[in-house]
Chain A
Amino acid sequence: MALPPLDSPQWQTSFRAFLWGARSIGATVLTLVLFATYLGIGALAHDSGFSLGWTLASTAFVWAGPAQIIVITTLGSGATVLQSAIAVTVSAIRLFPMVVSVLPLMRTEQTKRRHLILVAHLTAVTLWVECYRFLPQVPRNRRIAFIHGLGLGLVSVCLIANTIGYMLAANLTPLLAAGMLMLTPLAFLFSTARNCREFADVIALVLGLLLFPLAALLNSGVDILVSGVVAGTIAYGVHRARAGTVRARA
Chain B
Amino acid sequence: MSTFIGDWHALAILFVAGVIPNQIWRMLGLWFGGGIDENSELLVWVRAVATAILAGIIAQIVVQPPGALAGVPDWLRYGAVAAGFVAFMLARKSIFAGVIVGEVVMIAGKYWLG
Interface residues of A (CB under 8 A from B): 29-30, 33, 50-54, 57-58, 61-62, 64, 66-69, 71, 74-75, 81, 84-86, 88-89, 91-101, 103-105, 113, 116-117, 120-121, 123, 125, 128, 174-194, 196, 198, 200-201, 203-213, 215-216, 223-225, 227-233, 235-236, 239-240
Docked pose: A63 CA to B98 CA in angstroms: 26
Chain A residues positioned under 8 Å from B14 (CB to CB): 54, 57-58, 61-62, 71
Chain A residues positioned under 8 Å from B99 (CB to CB): 29, 33, 183, 186-187, 190
Docked pose: A67 CA to B20 CA in angstroms: 11
- 10 pairs of A and B residues whose beta carbons are closest in the complex: A208-B55, A99-B29, A51-B6, A232-B49, A208-B52, A228-B53, A104-B38, A89-B21, A177-B68, A231-B52
Kindly report which residue of chain B lies nearest to residue A122, judged by CB atoms: B26
Contact between chains at B46 and A101 (CB < 8 Å): yes
Given contacts A183-B99, A192-B51, contact A97 B29 (CB under 8 A): yes
Chain B residues positioned under 8 Å from A96 (CB to CB): 25-26, 28-29
A-B contact pairs, 23 of them (CB 8 A): A33-B99, A96-B26, A97-B49, A105-B38, A113-B31, A128-B50, A175-B107, A177-B69, A178-B68, A182-B80, A189-B84, A192-B54, A193-B85, A200-B47, A205-B51, A208-B54, A210-B59, A212-B60, A224-B53, A224-B60, A228-B49, A230-B52, A231-B49
Question: Which chain B residues (7-65) contact chain A, with CB distance < 8 Å?
Answer: 7, 10-11, 13-34, 36-38, 41, 43-65
Contact between chains at A208 and B26 (CB < 8 Å): no
Contact between chains at A92 and B25 (CB < 8 Å): yes
Chain A residues positioned under 8 Å from B27 (CB to CB): 120
Contact between chains at B26 and A95 (CB < 8 Å): yes
